[in-house]
A and B are shown apart, each in its own frame.
Chain A
Amino acid sequence: MTQDPRDSDLLGDPAEDQALPSTPALDEETPFATMMSSFDEAAHTVGVEPAEYQILRKCDREIAFSVPVRLDDGTMDVLDGFRVQHNAGLGPFIGPLRIASDIKIVELRALAAWMTWKCAVLNVPFGGAAGGLRFDAREHSSGELERAVRRYTANLLTDVGPERDVFMRDVGSDAQTMAWVLDTVSSHARVTENAAVTGKPIEIGGTQGHQDAVAQGLRVILRLAVDRFDLPHKGMKVIIQGAGTVGGNLARILSEDGYRVCGISDVHGAFYNPEGLDVNAIMDWRRERGSLLDCPGDFERLTNRELLTRPCEVLIPCATANAVHSKVAAEVQCKLIVEGAHGPVSSRADKVLKERGISVVPDILANGGGVVMSYFEWVQNRMGYSWIMPVIEKRLRRFMAEGWNSVMKTQQEYDVTMRQAASVLAVKRVSAADELRGIYA
């Protein structure tokens, strides 16, 4: 067995190491290979043809290009741009556009494949992609950023589009970025192509419910899990790590639903009260001050790591990759873990939890609300007709529940963990589509 470097204690307390929630757990050296290794097992389990699996082990296409940008002082900078498209068997590509100074193509490969699996598990008709622009937005003006994004888009014009490759928001990109991409694509195409990007401002085709989509998806999964694992419906104790878009919204929603949110945290520390926290007061404080620091209230103040091992029924890590590493896993006092972040449970921790009989609802299922919502946005753009909030909520429930049911069915069929079942399901669906379409020419 190869050692998982993510578990190394040299990293210190991983929760303090504030990676963004959308950063998957990746091996520093070969993230794609590491990520794919969990799918080797899945492919073996379902008996996918080795030849067919070959296709899934490589990205369909990788584009690397230079992005010259005129800076405000009249000089020119040449940036690096990438777009990696993993597999288009199930439909057009979809994936994040990441803008950061430390982008690596190996990382984008892993992200792209990750998107393929996620779309397959949630049954949205896309293949996975990921793009990056190596650019430090903090060092540049908004004008420089806009010119960089537009030039990046222009260099990808033959590859972007509603039926080709759809951009999503990610680290370093926001609704404004998506609006620039949309405008650049549309101006060149001479038609409005608002389905080419998701996470847009509502005024130009964005969807309602985008803001807390991941949290709403987690809520659906939690409800299904409560039934499946015979947990109490009322007053169930939940610990949430993270208080941002995912964790914060989820805490608010769950306390409204009557669950007892006993723990919450941000990068500065964690609060815990076994009788339940006053979530509204805490979130109000955070909204006003930007963090949980010095928030008053009736609770115990802990570190992030301590919070993870306090007693509760369900632990929902929504912050960083590898927050639950093998040592934490040996100490957690919960019945179920739901992965709100990407890869919050390390692979070694997975084994410890399995031995302890604690189930884990894997990220590619649990936090899929975001990509489902992106899909809804794309559908509404294609129709030119927007859905009202109740319709969106109902349809999100449908997709999350269907994903859950399919994973459960696969789990029973192959007698594996939920994470393995999700991987098996993903590989099965993608390879089935590839096989139906056959090899072209």
Chain B
Amino acid sequence: MSEGTKNQPANVSRDELNPFHSMAHQFGLAADLLELDEGTRDVLRQPDRELTVSMPVMMDDGTIEVFTGYRVQHNFSRGPCKGGIRFAPDVNLDEVRALAAWMTWKCSVVDIPFGGGKGGVICDPRNLSQGELERLTRRYTASIMDILGPDRDVPAPDMNTNEQTMAWIMDTYSMHVRRTTTAVVTGKPIAIGGSKGRREATGRGVMLVCREAMKKLGRSPEDTRVVVQGCGNVGGVGALLLHREGYKVVSVSDMYGALYNPDGLDMPAVMDHLRGSGRLEGYSSADYIENSEGQLELPCELLIPAATENQITSKNADRIQAELVVEGANGPTTPRGQEILDSRGVMVVPDILANAGGVTVSYFEWVQDRMGYFWTEEIVNSRLEQVMVRAFHSVADMAEKHNVNLRTGAYLVAIDRVARVYRMRGVFA
């Protein structure tokens, strides 16, 4: 999902391509509609807390290397902070700050009791041994310990971090506080407090909002052709589940190309093929399009960009044929792209709503860890459905009330919830 600058369109201005600018733009728009006072606006624009730590790590060859890490807590009015930790050579405080704010809005849209946080460590995981990675993770955890905890800040995996990273964080934290604290982090392996259904949660959430949006548009699954950009945890799972719901998935893609069959793909077979060979190319019952730039413009009713940001821009938005776009990835539509789609009457379900299934099941993991009791996959899925359906309708209702698109509707819902709680709690001391 977060492939950095790869696959970014040429000939589009850099300003249009900065997803954080578009978020700030959305924030302003929604704040105006909510008639937020300047003070509250300032509070919500700035992170509650930013922590920068430097971490000496003993490398395998006996030398010491000093790494820099960040943890930003954007807003904890609605509850402890929640957000991923990314390991990458180009992480910087600006990016972490913006992503933390993004998490605040996402948690608020789906109404789970968290604020937004984000962490980052400047490092190149490809050049670190497993042992070095473990020592770095443990040291980072120890360095930010004072602001972590099930009731303070709960990290999750992000770019280049995974279940194993989360297991190390959980272990380090638990050893320091002298008690088992599984709820300090989510995205853990099931053996030590992870949740069932988490891996496919984002894809499932995408499927659920597609279903609700299609109901609103009055279209039945059988009459809906679906094009999915991506085929990983979000796109692949989403496509598979939509197929199961009776939708006609006509195209999916990976980094190298796209499959297309206007009669519909047999998604379980496609996923089997992908698992076997590692890429889509070579699947026999569909055409293979080598360079998939045109994939988004294929004839369909539902388009799901679930790969990377900035895919629908001023350059191609007028050629999109879908009547519904559901953003599986973060920031796949630029503000200019959105304007064009708006003017053409295309409905866009925004990322902070559409791909919030992941953080929702992270929330479920935290709840289960706090109880110490673990739900069956059916229960996780049915509770995810409740959350996503409710969130979709509160956004749709808000958008209707203010006569704006769903993206602005989502920001209105999110900001309104945070601002209300902020006023209720008041300014401390």
Are A and B interaction partners?
yes
Q: Which residues of A contact B (CB under 8 A)?
A: 88-92, 125, 158, 161, 163-164, 375, 378-379, 382-383, 398, 429, 432-433, 436-438, 440-441
Contact B172 A90 (CB under 8 A): no
Which residues on the B side are within 8 Å of A164 (C-beta)? 178-180
Closest to A430 in B: B191
Q: Besides the contacts A161-B179, A436-B164, A437-B170, what 18 more A-B pairs have beta carbons closer than 8 Å? A: A91-B182, A125-B193, A125-B372, A125-B374, A158-B178, A163-B180, A163-B181, A164-B179, A379-B371, A382-B370, A383-B373, A436-B192, A437-B167, A437-B168, A437-B192, A438-B134, A438-B168, A440-B175
Indicate whether B47 reaches chain A with its CB closer than 8 angstroms: no
CA distance A379 to B371 in the complex (A): 5
Contact A436 B191 (CB under 8 A): yes
Contact A379 B175 (CB under 8 A): no
In this complex, the member of B163, B167, B373, B376 whose beta carbon has the largest number of chain A beta carbons within 10 angstroms is: B373
Which residues on the A side are within 8 Å of B374 (C-beta)? 125
Contact B175 A441 (CB under 8 A): yes
A218 vs chain B, min Cβ distance (A): 23
Contact B180 A91 (CB under 8 A): yes
Contact A436 B167 (CB under 8 A): yes
Which residues on the A side are within 8 Å of B373 (C-beta)? 379, 383
Contact A92 B180 (CB under 8 A): yes
Which residues on the A side are within 8 Å of B192 (C-beta)? 89-91, 433, 436-437
Contact A88 B180 (CB under 8 A): yes
Known: A125-B372, A383-B371. A440 touches B172 (CB 8 A): yes
CA distance A76 to B134 in the complex (A): 52
Contact A378 B138 (CB under 8 A): no
Indicate whether B189 reaches chain A with its CB closer than 8 angstroms: yes
> How many residues in B have their beta carbons less than 8 Å from beta carbons of A?
25
Contact A92 B164 (CB under 8 A): no
Which residues on the B side are within 8 Å of A437 (C-beta)? 167-168, 170-171, 192
Known: A163-B180, A440-B172. A378 touches B372 (CB 8 A): yes
A188 vs chain B, min Cβ distance (A): 15
B363-390 CB mask vs A (1 if < 8 Å, else 0) is 0000000111110100000000000000
Which residues on the B side are within 8 Å of A382 (C-beta)? 370-372
In this complex, the member of A90, A429, A436, A441 whose beta carbon has the largest number of chain B beta carbons within 10 angstroms is: A436
Which residues on the A side are within 8 Å of B189 (C-beta)? 436
Which residues on the B side are within 8 Å of A89 (C-beta)? 192
CA distance A99 to B134 in the complex (A): 43
CA distance A115 to B357 in the complex (A): 37
CA distance A125 to B374 in the complex (A): 10
Which residues on the B side are within 8 Å of A398 (C-beta)? 376
27 A-B pairs in the complex with CB atoms less than 8 angstroms apart: A90-B191, A90-B192, A91-B182, A91-B192, A91-B193, A92-B179, A92-B180, A125-B193, A125-B372, A163-B179, A163-B181, A164-B180, A379-B371, A383-B371, A383-B373, A432-B191, A436-B167, A436-B189, A436-B191, A436-B192, A437-B168, A437-B171, A437-B192, A438-B171, A440-B171, A440-B172, A441-B138
Closest to B171 in A: A437
Closest to B139 in A: A441
Which residues on the A side are within 8 Å of B172 (C-beta)? 440
Which residues on the A side are within 8 Å of B138 (C-beta)? 440-441
Which residues on the B side are within 8 Å of A91 (C-beta)? 180, 182, 192-193, 372
Which residues on the B side are within 8 Å of A161 (C-beta)? 179
Which residues on the A side are within 8 Å of B164 (C-beta)? 436
* Shortest 7 CB-CB contacts between residues of A and residues of B: A163-B179, A437-B171, A436-B167, A379-B373, A92-B180, A440-B175, A164-B179
CA distance A158 to B178 in the complex (A): 9
A194 vs chain B, min Cβ distance (A): 14
Closest to B134 in A: A438
CA distance A385 to B276 in the complex (A): 47
A92 vs chain B, min Cβ distance (A): 5
Which residues on the B side are within 8 Å of A432 (C-beta)? 191
In this complex, the member of A163, A375, A429 whose beta carbon has the largest number of chain B beta carbons within 10 angstroms is: A163
Which residues on the A side are within 8 Å of B179 (C-beta)? 92, 161, 163-164
A193 vs chain B, min Cβ distance (A): 12
CA distance A433 to B181 in the complex (A): 14
Which residues on the B side are within 8 Å of A441 (C-beta)? 138, 175
Partner of A379, one of B180, B372, B376: B372
B264 vs chain A, min Cβ distance (A): 36
Interface residues of B in 168-208 (CB under 8 A from A): 168, 170-172, 175, 178-182, 189, 191-193
B104 vs chain A, min Cβ distance (A): 27
B175 vs chain A, min Cβ distance (A): 5
Contact B167 A438 (CB under 8 A): yes
CA distance A436 to B191 in the complex (A): 9
Which residues on the B side are within 8 Å of A429 (C-beta)? 191
B40 vs chain A, min Cβ distance (A): 34
Which residues on the A side are within 8 Å of B376 (C-beta)? 398
CA distance A433 to B178 in the complex (A): 18
Closest to A164 in B: B179
CA distance A376 to B74 in the complex (A): 37
Closest to B166 in A: A436
